[in-house]
Every structure is written in structure tokens, then in C-alpha cells.
Structure 1
Amino acid sequence: MTAPSGRSDIVDAHHHLWVRSRHPQPWIDPATMAAIDADFTPADLARVARAAGVAGSVVVQANSTEAETVDLLGTAADDTLVRGVVGWLDVTADDVVDRLARLRAARGGDLLVGIRYSVQDEPDPTFLDRADVRRGIAAVGAAGLAFDLLVRQHQLGAAGRVARDLPEVRFVLDHLGKPALGGPDLAGWARDLHALAAWTNTTAKLSGLVTEVQRSSWTPDDLRPAVDHALDAFGPDRLMFGSDWPVCLLASSYDRWVDTLAGLLDPLGPDERAAIWRHTARRAYRLEAS
């Protein structure tokens, strides 16, 4: 792939790295997820990302442990492509402030730009309404970090409420809330997405969509409704590109997703496209210019 014209300094706001001997990924099913049943290193990322015009990236936790976050911070400190780390922290813990301080004291701790907790795995759809959860998220915001919202479609309502009630926190919605593309309730997802976007402390990632399509052979038109709704809800200035590599390999190569998104964004003006490809991520995560 040749990097798209005018996009030689893309920021990939969402990808993962893992070496399973250090940090197992038990959520990977070898039978149904053979494409990602492997280790993925910074060198592997650089080969595909730089060819697509990526000049900087944000690595996001995949294992719900502080140990993985510490390792990702060390990786970022040694890597020229990774500019920030969204790590994991138990936001229900009583000592969130102390835990954040320990992460920042680790090597590469100055590259911690956000925290993510796997809300999508919580059975309670109102998990984000809990007082202890909100106390932890508020502490993340007070530390100057973004909070990534990893939620499923049915949890978007609670995401909107926490964004409304904690206006001092910068919230970043991962994967547009995982809409069931082609499913019967896309209208409900769009309604809740617009409700979340009403709060100006929110941004969202155009990422993870290729693995939400309810068909094995997808086309750009399958993804277009989600991208169009996101543009209408957030506008280009609050949207950012994310590859979700290597998870995207379950349905797409890195370059195919970049090409697909480029085509879907083609009607926008150059400044609007530049916001999505780089400026929103830099602002949301307070990254140094790539």
C-alpha cells in the first residue's frame, strides 16, 4: 500500500501489542480467532503502520492488569512510533490516585495518556452509574488523563450519563460503542450515540467497525451508516482514526481499513479529514506533535 496523498502523518489512536508469554490473552479463541492467535510486537506494527502513512500511535491495553500497562509504558519509552499509552486500572479500587502515581513513576510513565476499563464485560448495564466507578473515573480525569469508554451498544446510555455528570473528564469512545452493523437496532444505537456526543467532553474513534459487521465478506457500504452517524453526531473535530490492529485482522488487513476509511471520508474537506487522521487524537490524548 502507498500512503494516501496528504496523510503522511497519520496518528493511529487505537492499536494493541502483546507477547503472550508475558501477558496471556485468554479472550483469544484459537479456533475462531486464528488470525490473531500470535504475538504482535512494535516491529510488526511498524511494518504495516508506517507503510500506511502512520507517524505516531497510541497503544491500548488488552490485558486487564497493571503489569501489562507498566510493560507498555516501557515499550513506548523505547519506541519511535508509539507516542502514548492507554493503560488499565481498576477504577473501582479505593486507592486509584496511588495506583495512578505508581504507573506514572514507572519507566515511560510520562507517556501514560489515558486509562481504560473493560466496561463491555460487566453484566450490569448501569455499571458506569455506580458511585465507586465514578469516583475512580473522576480521579483519572483529575490526573489529566483521558478515560476510554469500552462499551457495547446497550451500555451507551450509561456512557452518556457519566459524560454528562463528569464534565471535567475527557471521555474517548472506543469503536463507536460497537454498533451491531446490519442488526435490527441500529436506530437505537444512533440515538444513544447522539446523546453521548451532546456532551463536549467526548470524542470517539472510527475503529473496530470491521469486526462488528454481521457478515464474513463486508464492503465499505456496510460500514457507511456507522461512519455517517458518527460524523453527524460528533463532527470531524471530535472523531479520530484507529486501526484496532491486530484485532482488525479478524476481518481486514491494516491497509484495507485505512483505504476503506479514506474512501468513506472522501466527501469531507481537507481540514476535516486532517482532524480525523491526526488532530483529534493529538488533542484528546494531549500527544506531542507527531
Structure 2
Amino acid sequence: MIIDSHQHFWNYEPLKHEWIDDSMSAIRKDFLPDDLKKVYAENDIDGCVAVQADQTLAETDFLLDLASKNDFIKGVVGWIDLRSDNLETDLEAYKEHERLKGFRHVVQGEADSNFLLRPNFLRGISILEKHNYVYDILVFPHQLGAVLEFVKQFPNQKFVIDHIAKPYIKDGFYDGWAILMREIGTYDNVYCKLSGMITEADFNTWTPTQIHPYMNLVLKAFGTKRTLFGSDWPVCLVAGNYKKVKELVTEFIAKMSSTEQAAIMGGNAIKFYNLK
């Protein structure tokens, strides 16, 4: 099975989705399951994991409702306030939702580069571990030092780094990102998504050759058993189309064994998110 480990849905609202700036005006509209079904049919994708784009419990409920009505949505990564004193109670309310696999916080938007290491956030992660939820790490490269310290503290918690930690491909930023990603990759409980890469390059002039060094580093650091294909649809549409995003990965891994290719393109997502 080919599983897209990272995509989004939304009913577009200018205030809620203010992060969609003028450079991304092409995605200032609704993106819902019927839109994605057509894309998946054209690109031979069997299922996906829907990831939060808004930091509210209403967003989690919205995604779970879509998943209940669309079988191809195999899992949901929602949002919950991991810093809340009521976290246990909030999690209890979701325990019947089998497709809720984990949570994410938009850490890249936090001014504090050590946000992940705040005591109340660490406490929240320890509670997630107890309830067997995974956690998606969304950060910029300057926050990777905190990520390293963060994952060290939870050797039994499953983590995945979204969008290869968003290196500034457009600016050629590599070395500092690479050093920390290699070190983070030594922790067996941390996975990484080959996603969100074309939007870190120049939207209009990127080439696969420009992105290959970053993909190569991720595969060396995390290996073929802890690397997941993800599209970041519909965000990817500002710099290309679904076919190009998929081919960027499939062509890069084409010389690997069929077992390794199958793992990256779906098997690892099924294992990481415990998809049915």
C-alpha cells in the first residue's frame, strides 16, 4: 500500500489560516476529501494520515469527522493542549476514536527556541506516552538543538519529524541542519517524513537535484525503516503538483530494493501510526 503520511484539510478562513500568506495565495480556498480522492486516484495512493493545521480541539474533531466518513483517511494527527492541567481528561474524551493516532503542536511558530523543553510541555508528552499516542515534531532548523534534548528524555515515545525539519533549501542552508539531524537519527524511536521539501526550495525554480542532498542525509540518518513518504498536500501545490511531489521521492529511491521502497512509501507509516 502507498500511504501519504502527511496531508491537510481545511475550510479556508482568512483569520484562522493567516499563515497562508500572499506567496501561497493559490491555496486560499477549501481543500476537502472529495478533492483529495481525485488526486489519489490519479496518483495510485491508497490512504493517508490527516494532520492538524489549526491549534484547536475543534480542528481535531473536524478531522475525526472527516475520517469517519472517508475510509481512505486511515489516521488523524490532531491538536490538544499538551500544557493543560486537564490533559488527561481531554485525552479520555477521545479514547473511543481509533483513527486518532497522535498529536502535533506548531512549534515552528513559537518564539522560544526551547519551547519543547518547557516543563509543562514535557509533562504533556509523558502523558501521551502513557496513552500510546505518537507525536509529530514540527520545527525549523534553529530549533533542532532543543529537539535533540527533547527526544533524549523520552526513549519509549514514538516521534516523527515533519518536513525534514524545514531546512532552508532555497538559501542552501545545510551543514548545521545536517549535523543535528544525524545526531537525532541515532535515536531509534524517532522517524522522519520526506515531506514539505519543495516548499522549502524556491517555489518556481526548484529541481530534484537541488533537494537530493537533503533526502540523502535523511535516509542515511534515519534509514529506510524510519523514513516516511508524505505529500504535504495541499500546501505542496504552491510549488508544484502531487505527481511531482510523489516522483521526487519515488525516483530518488528507485534503486533501492522493492522491500525498502515499499517501506518508505507506506509500510513505515502503517507501522509508525498503527494504521488499520
Bucket of the pairwise TM-score, normalised by the shorter protein: over 0.9
After TM superposition, list the pairs within 5 Å mapping 1:209-288 onto structure 2.
209-214=197-202, 216-288=204-276
Give the match for residue 6 of structure 1.
none
- The worse-fitting range, judged by mean Cα deviation, of 138-147 and 226-235 is 138-147
Give the match for residue 93 of structure 2.
102
Which deviations, in whole Å up to 9, do the C-alpha atoms of 1:174-210 show, x marking residues without a partner? Answer: 0010011153541110011011111111001000000
Give the match for residue 167 of structure 1.
155
Give the counterpart of 2:19 among 23, 27, 31.
Answer: 27
Unaligned runs of 5+ in 1: 1-8
Q: Secondary structure at the match of 2:94?
A: helix
CA distance in 2, matches of 1:40, 1:79: 14
Aligned-partner residue type, residue 42 of structure 1: P
CA distance in 2, matches of 1:252, 1:184: 20
After TM superposition, list the pairs within 5 Å mapping 1:135-174 onto structure 2.
135-174=123-162
Give the counterpart of 1:118 among 89, 106, 110.
Answer: 106
Instruction: Give the direction of change, closer, same or farther, for the CA distance of 1:184–1:85 in structure 2 (3 Å limit).
Output: same
After TM superposition, list the pairs within 5 Å mapping 1:39-78 onto structure 2.
39-78=30-69
CA distance in 2, matches of 1:38, 1:164: 40
Shift of 1:21: 5.6
Which deviations, in whole Å up to 9, do the C-alpha atoms of 1:45-94 show, x marking residues without a partner? Answer: 11112321111110000011110111110110110210000001111111
CA distance in 2, matches of 1:249, 1:182: 17
CA distance in 2, matches of 1:217, 1:22: 28
Aligned-partner residue type, residue 276 of structure 1: I
Count of residue pairs brought into register by the alignment: 276
Aligned 8 A contact 1:180 1:214 in 2? no
Instruction: Give the direction of change, closer, same or farther, for the CA distance of 1:184–1:247 in structure 2 (3 Å limit).
Output: closer
CA distance in 1, matches of 2:56, 2:203: 33
- State TM-score, norm by structure 2: 0.96
Give the match for residue 4 of structure 1.
none
After TM superposition, list the pairs within 5 Å mapping 1:179-190 onto structure 2.
179-183=167-171, 185-190=173-178
Q: Secondary structure at the match of 1:33?
A: helix
Give the match for residue 91 of structure 1.
82
Give the counterpart of 2:9 among 10, 13, 17.
Answer: 17
Instruction: Give the direction of change, closer, same or farther, for the CA distance of 1:46–1:23 in structure 2 (3 Å limit).
Output: farther
Aligned-partner residue type, residue 73 of structure 1: L
Shift of 1:34: 1.6
Unaligned runs of 5+ in 2: none
Shift of 1:27: 1.5
Aligned 8 A contact 1:23 1:68 in 2? no
Aligned 8 A contact 2:2 2:47 in 1? yes
Shift of 1:215: 5.7
CA distance in 2, matches of 1:122, 1:177: 14
- What is the percentage of aligned positions where both structures have the same residue? 37
Shift of 1:135: 0.6
Shift of 1:114: 0.8
Aligned-partner residue type, residue 61 of structure 2: V
CA distance in 1, matches of 2:268, 2:259: 11
- State TM-score, norm by structure 1: 0.92
CA distance in 1, matches of 2:130, 2:54: 24
Aligned-partner residue type, residue 63 of structure 2: L
Aligned 8 A contact 1:23 1:63 in 2? no
Give the match for residue 128 of structure 1.
116
Shift of 1:103: 2.8
